[in-house]
Structure formats: C-alpha cells, structure tokens
A and B are shown apart, each in its own frame.
Chain A
Amino acid sequence: MQLTNRSIQVVKNELTLAERLYFPAIIKGMIITLTHLFKRKATIKYPDQQRELAPVYRGQHVLKRDEAGAERCTACGLCAVACPAEAITMESAERTKGEENLYREEKYAKIYEINMLRCIFCGLCEDACPKEAIFLTDRIVPSSFTRGEEVFGKDKLVEGIDLRVDVTKRQTQEVLNFKTDKKHKHNQTYLDRQK
C-alpha cells in the first residue's frame, strides 16, 4: 500500500568508473563546502547581538503591581486551575491593617510559586486571570544548577516597584476591555452585584 508519493525507489546498480574513482564525488562535496564559506552566517554573536523575539513570545512570568505599587493578585487560584501543567501553587492570606499599600484587595497571595520546569508557557494563566495580575513576558527563564532553583517564588515573579516589567505587548487595549467589561459575570465584584 502506498501511503505517500514521496518514497524513492532504491536503485542498486554497479558503480560506474567515475563513481568508483571517488574523485568526482569528493570534488563535488568540496565545492559544496566552499560555497558555504561565502554564505551568510546562520549564527549571531550572541551576547553582543540578540535575536529579535516574536511579538507573541511567551517567556518568564511576571506578577504585576498596580499604578500605586500594590500587588494585583488576590490569590483566587484561577490561574492554578487553568494551568494544564499544574505548575502553579499558591497560598492565600488576609490583608491586615496597614498593608493597603502592599496589596490591592483584602486577600492576597502569601506564597505564589511557579515551577518553571513544569511550565509549558502556554499562557492560559494569563487568560484566566481576572485581575490582570499575571503576564508572560519576553524574558528568557535563566538556567540553574539545581531543580529547586527553578521553582520561582514571589521574590522572582513579582515586579519591583521601581523595576516595572513592560507587558504592553500582551496587555493590549482589547484584552483590557474584555477583562474590565462589567457585562461579563466574572468581572463583576460583590459590590457590582449589590447594585
């Protein structure tokens, strides 16, 4: 049964004199390598030059803060539920008095861990998040010597107050509109429903 028409019929003829002489084949091969000498290089001088990433590139995650510098994440766990690789774990805690500048809402993630070895960088956590808290960025996850170092906690995930991570490529107006539209039930807060 022929599955594809890509199969090549193997011909096992006696070698001709030219083939047995070996030299024509060698010269042919050497001409091929010589042409490669003048070809454009496939590699780049990496630390000096960097290849441009695709606009949809999904790399290391970031946990965003809001404009005032408070963490957006409320530890709802939707990202962990959405994650097909089960890479995300978290533990929530209640915000106490005086922490308003640290956490945007009453509940926050005490522990938030992403196992970078499990993560498949699909971006479903980003889609699931109702609070615009988690985004995948164009940063490359650094390598490490141990497996433990690849479990990223809040120290590595939350962006610094002064070191904001740019996610404008991911957080487009379209996404923002969808996530803030009160028409959708998942965007309504308790107070909205009271009205």
Chain B
Amino acid sequence: MTDSMLIYKIILCVIVFAVSLGAAAYMTWGERKLAAWLQDRVGPNRAGPLGLLQPIADGIKMFFKEEMIPTHSNRWLFILGPCFFMLCACMTGVVIPWGAGWQTETTLYPMQVTDINIGLLYLLGVVSIGVYGVMIGGWASNNKYSLLGALRASSQMISYEVAMGLALIALVMMTGTLSLKEIVEQQDAGMANVVYQPLGFIIFLICAFAETNRAPFDLPECESELVGGYHTEYSSMKLGFYLFAEYINMFISSAIMASLYFGGYNFPFQHELGLDGNILTIVQSAFFFGKIFLFIFLFMWVRWTLPRFRYDQLMNLGWKVLLPLAIANIIITGFVMLFTGKLG
C-alpha cells in the first residue's frame, strides 16, 4: 500500500464514520418528523427551520443529563455495554462499497475502506458480536427489566441471525463470492439480485428489522411492558449511545440491503449517460444514498404502522416460518442453478 493510498483510506475511514454518525443523528429527526406526519401532526419545529437543529439540541441535552450508575451494577460491564454496542455498529460500515472509486492517472482509489474477500461473513460476525453490547448492558444493570430486555434481545437476534444467514447463503450460491464489491459489480453487468432472489430479500428484510430491534420486533425495548428494556438503568450519553447505535445499525443495514439486493451504487443505464469516471462515481454515490434513504423510510414507515409482536409470535415467525422458507429458498436456488447450467 502506497503512502497516498494509506492517507486516502484514513480520510475515507473518517468520512464513513462521520457520515454514519451524521446520518444517524438526522435519522432521529427524520423519525420524529415522519412519525408526526403519519399521525397527522406537525413534528419537531421549534429548533431551527423545520426543527433541523433538533438532533443537536437532543445531543447537547443527552450530554448534560445527570449520569447515574446504579450502586448494585457491575461498573465496568455497565460502561462496556454501550461502548461495545456503538463500536460494533460503527465497524460494519467499512466493507460497504459507497461508490466505484476515484480514478487518477496512476491508481484507482476505491470508495470502500476495505474490500475483504469475506465481507459478508465479516458483516454477519460483527452483527453477532453486537448482541453482546445489549447482553452486557442488560446483565450489568442488575435490574430485572433490563435482564428481561437483554434476554429477549439476545434470543431474538440469535434466532433471526440463522434465517438471515441462510437467506444470504442462497445469494452467495448465486453470486459465488462473499466480497461485497464483487456482488455489487455483478449487479452492474446483470440485473439487481432482488429479481433472482425475491424470497431471499423478503426474509433478509424481515430479519434486518429484527436484528436492528425495530418495530414490529422491538420487544427488547418494549417501553410499555419492560420500562425501557435493556437500557432501563442507563442515563445520559450511555443511553444516547444505545439509541444512537441503533440508528447507525439501521443505516448500515439499509446500506447492506441496497448493495446486496438492489444493485448497490449502480443505477439503470449508467453507462449510456456517457459520464466521466469520477463524475459517474459521484452520481453513483448519490443513487446509493437514495436507495439507503428509501430503505430507512421503509423502516420508519413500518414502525409507525405495525403493532409489536407477541413474544411467542416472534419466535414462531423466526423458527417455524422464516427458517424453513430460507432453507426452501436455498434448495430452489440450487435446483435453478443446476437446470440453467450455472453450477460451478
């Protein structure tokens, strides 16, 4: 790796970090606004024009809130929980290709922090580790509501990870690679993967809702029955970290869905426009963010439409519906590949 590449990567790292944080901040605003509109209300409109300074006000408020650590809690684990959750949320952004790359005379600077050949596996791994943030937080609080929330969160995330992984296996069988960049590039040549894997996409979408603890799968938080779920005892910026990391997770899973199933940064007829390479990259990134935005909208739209699942319904859906469907999807994909001669 050359020096210029190293500096570029560091800058890109910072940008990806900042973008996901900024996006998460404004998603809180967007969520509140959208919730208001769906309920025929106006929404936050006092801080700045259209309430656009609301996330900043919320952030400042979070920082200046009194910090409470329960005496009976395990202090170190209590602090570790939100840190861990936040770390895992931020780690996933590195393997996502945000655009084709910047072409100079000599080298191509890719719009991806790292293109590891097991990108998908890395994503699943990091997402799985994310459960520990919730688990540790709920356990360390030494509070029954927190513990119940944490138990619910971890069992839910583990259950849905299985179906999610199996849905991805069908995709991996089809594309023959685990690298996100290659999956995205393949969709440039052919159609978007959702055309070939509609069932897989729906399973992945439902699992993504469950993984991010979003409604209708927000049982871990469940403010109406568990006070606040695993973050009942948290206050100040530690609570902020949990809430914030959830929005980052939402942003990243939207990005993953867009790149795995909806062609990533590609858009139809992009090569017919006759755009210069670097300008095309900018347009591509814009399209990618547009796709992400649509998915985030879907996340919020569903949240303010559907009521929460009951716990047994959640487990039934995960193990008795999504898991068999995902396996069936793999078998169907296998047969189709066999008969169309796409196998190996």
Contact = CB atoms under 8 A, between A and B. Distances in A.
Contacts of B304: 33
B301 A30 contact: yes
- Give the size range of A's interface with the partner: 10 to 19
A43 B40 CA distance: 7
B40 A33 contact: no
A32 B38 CA distance: 9
A37 interface: yes
Prevailing SS type, chain B contact patch:
loop
Contacts, number: 35
A41 B40 CA distance: 5
A45 interface: yes
Interface residues of B, number: 13
A154 B304 CA distance: 50
Q: Which one of A29, A37, A39 has the greatest number of beta carbons of chain B within 10 Å?
A: A37
Contact of A41 (B34, B42, B301, B306): B42
A34 B40 contact: no
A36 B302 contact: no
B42 to A, nearest CB: 5
A32 to B, nearest CB: 8
Contact of A30 (B34, B45, B305): B305
Given A26-B306, A39-B40, A43-B40, A33 B301 contact: yes
Contact of A29 (B37, B40, B45, B305): B305
A11 interface: no
A43 B41 CA distance: 5
Nearest to A43: B41
A157 to B, nearest CB: 34
Q: Which one of B34, B38, B304 has the greatest number of beta carbons of chain A within 10 Å?
A: B38
Interface string A8-37: 000000000000000000100110111011
B306 A43 contact: no
B270 interface: no
Interface string B33-66: 0100111111001000000000000000000000
A41 B305 CA distance: 18
A42 interface: yes
A45 B39 contact: no
26 contacts: A26-B305, A26-B306, A29-B305, A29-B306, A30-B301, A30-B302, A30-B305, A32-B305, A33-B38, A33-B301, A34-B301, A36-B38, A36-B39, A36-B40, A37-B37, A37-B38, A39-B40, A40-B40, A41-B40, A41-B41, A41-B42, A42-B40, A42-B41, A43-B40, A43-B42, A45-B42
Given A30-B301, A32-B305, A33-B304, 9 more contacts: A29-B305, A33-B38, A36-B40, A39-B40, A40-B40, A41-B37, A41-B40, A41-B42, A43-B41
